[in-house]
A and B are shown apart, each in its own frame.
Chain A
Amino acid sequence: MAHILLRDLDIPDIWQFDTYVANGGYEGLKQAIGNHTPAEVIQIVLDANLRGRGGAGFPTGRKWSFIPQNEAVKYVVVNADESEPGTFKDRQLLEKNPHQVIEGAMIAAYAIQATAVYIYCRGEFWDLAHALEERIEEARQANLVGENVLGSGWNCPMFVHLGAGAYICGEESALLNSLQGLLGQPRVRPPFPAQKGGGLYYEPTVVNNVETLANVPWILVNGADAFKQIGTSESPGPKIFCMSGHIARPGNYELPLGITFRELIFEHAGGIPNGKQLKGILPSGASGPVLRATDEVLDSPLTYESVAKLGSTLGSASFILMDEDTDMVWAAAKMAHFFKHESCGKCTPCREGTYWLERIYERMMRGEGTEHDLHLLNSVPRQMVGVVLCALGDFAANPVLSTLKNFPDEYERYIRQRPVREQTADTLQDYARKEAGEHPAAVGEGGL
């Protein structure tokens, strides 16, 4: 079947304006503006049950429907701050099929009658973002973006904003702050971005992921029913699966939601290289819980609901695969390091929690882990979940708690390597330092 999203795989130069138009490009926007009211466009996307592809899976049409109609200034912000380890789908879309994202964003903008669109690209997409500005200019010259779009009397310019390297800016309220020139830290909600006071420049704003918007033109042209023919009833449509780590053919795969883990990993992506067995699966990058590759997991369908039932999340469908030789404690340490680096520092439990988790893992990696560290690894993440402003605190807890749960034997090995006598000596020394009134950071070296 021809691709709906990764159309560059069928038509390599689809990134060019003329090629895109010659292959039905901008038909969706033309139909939206020519044949439908904004409210009808929202209804079509609601009927299609398109769910956000950035990670949360929230119904896109509902998000749009929250925007108040009677506000003078409204925005669409495209989240292209793709930074989740293991995720590289939006990059391919923006590089290889950019006009489809521009078109999808303009349809969203028409649906909420936005006054401007901003595409927030992560700073590392430097080359891509500058090329994207040229693509937007092509669309503007064809009257598809900008003033009096397609003669409708509606004005909507589109701009690219470059980030500068911060994972947290993929979180929508931090992204909005970053765009406003403030520190990229999350906001207190409510008000939510869709509400007055919560969005970009505190005006009602829709924030959508790149891949989500890339689905929209197809839905407008082919209808909600056709979209629901793909995938499952609860999770309809195509999805891009990013395959990385220990996999024979890494890359992006566009497939209907509802295929199984096994089909995705072994049939499409070529299985695990070097004749190794698959051990661990991260289905949603570093931020979702890691799964043990059991038959139960491998035969499960890939939908938002079924992956949740397995105790993980489908998220942005960024699969990081780990073979039998992978040290899962090391993998968790890598992720702990990532979240420590990326915690924005605003909420104490996340700022301090990620710091301590990284320290504990560093200790384990040096072969100095103790029984007490296992206790801390169970306890610290639980004090981060649900008590912070955004999901990063929860994300940081996931790799720790899920590796402890699914691979306890590997942690045991780390602890058992060391004689108990040495561990006890360390602990006693710590208490002595504590008694001596030394700074707690120094005490932390051996166990808190």
Chain B
Amino acid sequence: MLAEKYADRIQKIFAKYPDRRSGIMDLLYLAQEEYGWLTEQALEEVAALCDVDPTQAHSIAGFYTMYSEKPKGKYWLQVCTDLPCALRGADDFYAALCEFLGVEDGGTTEDGLFTVEQVMCLAACDKAPMLQCNFHYHENLDMEKMKAQIEQWRAEAAQPEQPEDERP
């Protein structure tokens, strides 16, 4: 249960706001960190903490692109293919990335390591092509750099005792 396990962090979140409801976004991140994605139980726990109906927690979770109500790969790659990035080759980069990983647009690799998605502008247009992996930016990419990075992630994932998951 989030409430017991993260009492201090939850207390800190609520301390920022005069209304508990404002804590819902931070708590959804916390729940996602704990469960990997926003499961039914996660949403119910968050709703109870914020004193709202679970339906409202669902609606917030569905409204934003950084919450997921489905399991994702260990490395959740969100590639910006908006106009400024596309003018610098992001569409081709994205297609090559999908092909390299052997997945369709929005798909997850069979080993469960990588999910690839297209996202809207990430405010890094001058450093395109770029992506965020579990919320951290990787910029000025090409497939050569990407392949090296993917190898690094694969090696990292193969370690039995993982130092730290990149998921925040």
Query: Is B29 touching A162 in the complex (CB atoms < 8 A)?
Result: yes
By the criterion CB–CB under 8 Å, are A181 and B22 in contact?
yes
Give the residue of A85, A126, A183, A341 whose beta carbon is less than 8 angstroms from that of B84: A85
Name the distance in Å between A18's Cβ and chain B's nearest Cβ: 27
Q: Assess whether B86 is interfacial by the CB under 8 Å rule.
A: yes
User: What is the chain A residue whose CB lies nearest that of B23?
Assistant: A181
Interface band, chain A: 35 or more
User: B66 to A123, Cβ gap below 8 A?
Assistant: yes
A85 touches B168 (CB 8 A): no
Cross-chain contact A245 with B87 (CB below 8 angstroms): yes
A122-154 at interface with B (beta carbon < 8 Å): 122-127
Given contacts A183-B63, A201-B19, contact A163 B25 (CB under 8 A): yes
Chain A residues with CB below 8 A from B87, complex form = 244-246, 320-322, 326
Is the CB–CB distance between B64 and A165 below 8 Å?
yes
Question: Which listed residue (A87, A165, A242, A342) contacts B66, Cβ 8 A?
Answer: A165
Residues of B with C-beta under 8 A to A78? none
CA distance A368 to B64 in the complex (A): 33
Q: Does A82 contact B (CB under 8 A)?
A: yes
How many whole Å from A257's CB to the nearest CB in chain B? 21
A338 with B25: in contact, given A86-B84, A161-B16, A252-B126 (CB under 8 Å)? no
Q: Which residue of chain B is the closest to A399 with respect to CB atoms?
A: B83
In the complex, are the beta carbons of A86 and B29 less than 8 A apart? no
Residues of A158-206 at the interface with B, using a CB-CB cut-off of 8 Å, are 159, 161-167, 178-184, 201
Q: Is there a chain A Cβ closer than 8 Å to B50's Cβ? A: yes
Q: Are A178 and B66 in contact (CB under 8 A)?
A: no
Residues of A with C-beta under 8 A to B64: 123, 163-166, 184
- Which residues does chain B contribute within 8 Å of A395, judged by CB atoms? none
Q: List 10 A-B contacts (CB under 8 A).
A: A83-B121, A86-B84, A87-B121, A124-B132, A162-B25, A166-B65, A244-B88, A245-B125, A250-B126, A320-B84
Assembled-state Cα–Cα distance A162/B13 (Å): 11
| B17, B50, B87 — most chain A CB neighbours (10 Å) | B87
Question: Knowing A85-B125, A183-B59 touch, does A164 contact B84 (C-beta < 8 A)?
Answer: no
Q: What CA separation (Å) do A87 and B123 show in the bound complex?
A: 6
**B20 CB contacts on chain A under 8 angstroms:** 181
| Cβ contact within 8 Å between B22 and A179 | yes
Q: A86-B121, A124-B66 are in contact. List 20 more A-B contacts (CB 8 A).
A: A86-B125, A126-B168, A161-B16, A161-B25, A163-B25, A164-B28, A164-B67, A165-B65, A165-B119, A179-B22, A181-B22, A181-B52, A183-B59, A201-B19, A246-B87, A250-B126, A320-B84, A321-B87, A335-B83, A338-B121
- Within 8 Å CB of B168, what residues of A? 126
Judging by beta carbons under 8 Å apart, are A331 and B83 in contact?
yes
- Whether a CB of chain A sits under 8 angstroms from the CB of B95 is no
Contacts of A242 in B (CB 8 A): 125-126
Q: Any chain B CB within 8 A of the CB of A251?
A: yes
Q: Which residues from A are CB-within-8-Å of B163? A: none
Q: Counting CB contacts under 8 A, is B24 at the interface? A: yes
Residues on B with beta carbons closer than 8 Å to the beta carbon of A243: 126
- For the complex formed, measure the closest distance between the CB of A164 and the CB atoms of chain B, giving whole angstroms: 3
Q: Are A334 and B22 in contact (CB under 8 A)?
A: no
Picked from B28, B66, B123, the residue with its CB within 8 Å of the CB of A83 is: B123
Contact A85 B63 (CB under 8 A): no
Report yes or no: B26 in contact with A162, Cβ–Cβ below 8 A.
Answer: yes
Q: Is A286 located at the chain interface by the 8 A CB criterion?
A: yes
In the complex the two chains form, is B88's CB within 8 Å of A245's CB? yes
**Nearest Cβ on chain A to B74's Cβ, whole angstroms:** 17
**With a CB–CB cut-off of 8 A, which chain A residues contact B83?**
85-86, 245, 282, 286, 320, 331, 334-335, 338
B100 at the interface (CB under 8 A from A): no
Task: Find residues 310-366 in chain A having any chain B CB closer than 8 Å to their own CB.
Answer: 318, 320-322, 326, 331, 334-335, 338, 341-342, 344
Give the distance in Å from the alpha carbon of A126 to the alpha carbon of B59 in the complex.
Answer: 22
In the complex, what distance in Å separates the CA atom of A183 from the CA atom of B67? 14
A334 interface neighbour in B17, B24, B82, B119, Cβ under 8 Å: B82
Q: Collect the chain B residues with CB atoms within 8 Å of residue A110's CB.
A: none
**B18 in the interface, Cβ–Cβ < 8 Å?**
yes
Contact with A along B153-168 (1 / 0, CB 8 A): 0000000000000001
Q: How far is the CA of A286 from the CA of B64 in the complex (A)?
A: 20
- Closest Cβ of chain B to A180, distance in Å, is 6
Give the complex CA separation of A334 and B121 in angstroms. 11
- Shortest C-beta distance, B125 to chain A (Å), equals 4
B9 within 8 A of A: no
- Tell me, rounded to whole Å, the shortest Cβ–Cβ distance linking A82 to chain B: 5
B63 and A166 form a contact (CB under 8 A)? yes
Inter-subunit contact A334/B65 (CB<8 Å): no
Q: Are A164 and B66 in contact (CB under 8 A)?
A: yes
Q: Are A338 and B82 in contact (CB under 8 A)?
A: yes
Instruction: Provide the residues of chain A in CB contact with B124, threshold 8 Å.
Output: 88, 91
Q: Which of A260-300 contact B (CB under 8 A)?
A: 282, 286
B21 close to chain A: CB less than 8 A: yes
Chain A CB within 10 Å — which of B19, B66, B83, B125 has the most?
Answer: B83
